[in-house]
């Protein structure tokens, strides 16, 4: 088994991370009945013997002593981290994993990146190094953070475009999640619970919308939205944590879904989503596959079926066979436009352990040109502010921040949009490949 380190940054990153650790513990507690530290737990947790003064980890197979999350928590405003340290999850973290300040970045990317970034760079790297040294086979880092700022702020287009340049140039994969999509999902679940149909009530133990019954205490305003993102993380890491007939290594996602280095923004869809939160009849298996390609289950507002797929991954959990995967892919392929040079661009994974309270689930990750309109809208919002130089002085007064960084950031975004546009222009120009050799397996 491999291990991963979660890096939680800012208010948003730490709130989502808190929900992830809560739900991950629930999931493992549901499966691990003997209280043993197994390989599944080891993927995201260390087992520390408090009697061991150097904080060493126990061997796999021993009794669970004290679980410590493989995580680094960073926030320049200490409120959320302090809440975590005072709550039921406090035993999962120690001082070597935390880095906080008191004043915060004030939703200003320049303050966070230039001021705090330069001041704390070495400390962050040192904490990441220590977290990595506790891993036997480090697979990846999960970085959880917001793009525009923690609140709906006027300058969020500046923050988002500046941050996107870093993600485009340095990340292996980015899974964008829109607040409005999460709000729409939560509102639909609430409507379903009040529609008067028998059994249509929100499950108190739901891992999708409810914080009740978990370790993080009373439900907070954004818990419902954050739980959805936490479930995305649970599903994408399921193959790394549990056995399966067709396990998918996390590195295989980038290898198979990212044909061009900058085009690594993947549209996530989760299903079942609503039946996990509301007591309504379970969806049939084939319907689950259809739902995964419907807008109601996407975590970003987009139109994949009206755009072009570069590749798509299906990560399935539960009692699902390879034949079920193949049958549904063949059924759905005619309605999903793929680029001509990658008509078989599917990557599949099967994990035998389903989510708590359900028989199966599916996470779809689509590398699709449908993200282009979202990026174009962001560019337009940025340009409206930047054309008037509105609020620019808040950024330029920060030491190290120059106006050229704005020009470079918007140029990077425009270049990214153009790359997607060029791919879109090839739609409809399907050129069949030469016949392939049939290989018996």
Residue 75 phi, psi dihedral angles, 5° rounding: -160, 125
Which of 51, 83, 84 shows the shortest CA–CA distance to 65?
51
Per-residue pLDDT band at 429 (split at 50, 70, 90): low
Q: Cβ atoms within 10 A of the Cβ of 287, count? A: 13
pLDDT digit string (tens) for 50-65? 766 555 556 777 899 9
Residue 52 phi, psi dihedral angles, 5° rounding: -85, 110
Instruction: Compare 413 and 251 and report the one with higher pLDDT.
Output: 413
Quick one: what percent of the chain has pLDDT higher than 90? 74
pLDDT at 150: 81
pLDDT digit string (tens) for 143-176? 999 998 786 789 999 999 999 999 999 999 999 9
Tell me which CATH code domain 3-154 carries: 3.40.50.1440
What integer is the mean pLDDT of 124-134? 96
pLDDT at 53: 53
Would you say residue 431 has pLDDT above 90? no
Ranges of each domain in the chain: 3-154, 180-369
Would you say residue 67 has pLDDT above 70? yes
Average pLDDT, whole number, for the chain? Answer: 89
* Segment among 26-35, 212-221, 376-385 with least mean pLDDT: 212-221
Would you say residue 211 has pLDDT above 60? no
Which of 227, 298, 306 shows the shortest CA–CA distance to 267?
298
pLDDT digit string (tens) for 349-386? 999 999 988 889 999 999 999 999 999 999 999 999 99
pLDDT digit string (tens) for 271-318? 988 765 555 555 688 999 999 999 999 999 999 999 999 999 999 999
What integer is the mean pLDDT of 403-423? 98
Give CA–CA dist 381/378, Å, rounded: 5
**360-368 and 267-271 strand pairing:** antiparallel
Q: Per CATH, which fold does 180-369 belong to?
A: Rossmann fold (3.40.50)
Topology agreement, domain 3-154 and domain 180-369: yes
pLDDT at 249: 85
Per-residue pLDDT band at 28 (split at 50, 70, 90): very high
Per-residue pLDDT band at 1 (split at 50, 70, 90): confident
Per-residue pLDDT band at 441 (split at 50, 70, 90): very low
pLDDT at 434: 46
- CB 302, CB 368: distance < 8 Å: yes
What integer is the mean pLDDT of 384-393? 97
What integer is the mean pLDDT of 181-195? 85
pLDDT digit string (tens) for 231-268? 999 999 998 889 888 888 889 999 999 999 999 999 99
pLDDT at 54: 56
Q: What is the pTM of this model?
A: 0.90
Instruction: Compare 195 and 147 and report the one with higher pLDDT.
Output: 147
Instruction: Compare 265 and 211 and report the one with higher pLDDT.
Output: 265
pLDDT at 200: 54
Instruction: Compare 125 and 220 and report the one with higher pLDDT.
Output: 125
According to DSSP H, which parts of 258-345 are helical?
Answer: 285-292, 322-332
pLDDT at 205: 55
Instruction: Please count the helices (runs of H) and the strands (runs of E) in the chain.
Output: 15, 10
**309-318 and 360-368 strand pairing:** antiparallel
Strand partners, 102: none
The tokens describing 72, both together, are 């680094």
Give CA–CA dist 424/408, Å, rounded: 24
């Amino acid at each position: 088994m491999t291990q991963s380190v979660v890096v939680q940054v800012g208010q948003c990153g730490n709130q989502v991370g808190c929900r992830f650790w809560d739900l991950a513990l629930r999931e493992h507690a549901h499966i691990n009945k003997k209280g043993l530290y197994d390989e599944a737990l080891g993927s995201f947790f260390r087992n520390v013997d408090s009697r061991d003064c150097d904080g060493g980890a126990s061997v796999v197979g021993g009794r669970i002593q004290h679980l410590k999350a493989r995580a680094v928590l960073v926030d320049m405003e200490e409120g959320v981290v302090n809440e975590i340290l005072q709550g039921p999850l406090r035993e999962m973290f120690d001082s070597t994993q935390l880095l906080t300040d008191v004043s915060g970045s004030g939703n200003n990317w320049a303050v966070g990146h230039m001021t705090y970034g330069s001041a704390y760079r070495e400390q962050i790297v040192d904490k990441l190094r220590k977290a990595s040294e506790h891993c036997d086979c480090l697979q990846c880092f999960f970085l959880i953070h917001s793009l525009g700022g923690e609140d709906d702020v006027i300058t969020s287009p500046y923050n988002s475009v500046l941050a996107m340049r870093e993600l485009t140039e340095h990340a292996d994969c980015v899974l964008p999640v829109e607040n409005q999509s999460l709000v729409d999902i939560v509102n639909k679940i609430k409507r379903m619970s009040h529609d008067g149909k028998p059994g249509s009530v929100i499950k108190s133990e739901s891992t999708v919308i409810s914080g009740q019954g978990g370790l993080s205490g009373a439900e907070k305003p954004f818990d419902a939205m954050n739980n959805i993102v936490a479930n995305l993380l649970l599903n994408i890491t399921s193959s790394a944590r549990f056995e399966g007939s067709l396990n998918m290594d996390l590195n295989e996602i980038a290898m198979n879904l990212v044909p061009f280095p900058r085009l690594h923004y993947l549209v996530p869809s989760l299903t079942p989503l609503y039946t996990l939160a509301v007591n309504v009849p379970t969806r049939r298996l084939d319907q689950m596959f259809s739902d995964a390609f419907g807008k109601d289950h996407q975590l970003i507002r987009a139109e994949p079926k009206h755009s072009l797929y570069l590749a798509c991954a299906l990560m399935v959990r539960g009692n699902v066979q390879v034949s079920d995967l193949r049958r549904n892919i063949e059924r759905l392929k005619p309605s999903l436009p793929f680029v001509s040079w990658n008509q078989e661009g599917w990557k599949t994974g099967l994990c035998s352990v389903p989510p708590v309270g359900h028989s199966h689930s599916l996470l779809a990750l689509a590398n699709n040109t449908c993200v282009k309109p979202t990026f174009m809208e962001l560019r337009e919002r940025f340009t409206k502010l930047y054309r008037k130089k509105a609020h620019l002085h808040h950024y330029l007064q920060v030491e190290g921040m120059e106006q050229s960084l704005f020009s470079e950031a918007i140029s990077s975004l425009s270049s990214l949009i153009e790359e997607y546009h060029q791919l879109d222009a090839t739609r409809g120009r399907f050129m069949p490949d030469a016949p392939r050799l049939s290989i018996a397996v």
